Every structure is written in structure tokens, then in C-alpha cells.
Structure 1
């Protein structure tokens, strides 16, 4: 089902985005300390 695949793809994008955001925050944290 094409519609279902779209949802899965966007969920994966959200996971990737969250992961990337956390990494970005981690980088900033390391720069501060």
C-alpha cells in the first residue's frame, strides 16, 4: 500500500531528524565543556 509506505517513510525521517538533533546538541555540549 503506497499510502502506508509514505507514513513509514515520514516516521523514519522523524527518527533521523531526532537522532541528528541529538547529535547536534551533543556537539554543542562538548564545545561548551
Structure 2
């Protein structure tokens, strides 16, 4: 169960990082 929660946290952090990178690049493109 602990391993499952850890894998969920890793997936969440990975998806969150991709989302932040995507939003950051999109805002830069729209800003310029």
C-alpha cells in the first residue's frame, strides 16, 4: 500500500512537471 501511494506521488509529480512546463512555454509564446 505504501509502494502504491509512492508510485501515485511520483506519477503526480511527473504529470505536474509536464503540465507546468507546457503552461510555461505556452504563456511565453502567447506573451511574445
Q: Report how many aligned residue pairs link the two structures.
A: 32
TM-score (norm 2): 0.86
Structure 2 residues not aligned, in runs of 5+: none
Q: Give the CA RMSD over aligned residues.
A: 0.7
Structure 1 residues not aligned, in runs of 5+: none
Partner in structure 1 of residue 2 of structure 2:
3
Poorly superposed stretches of 4+, deviation over 2 Å: none
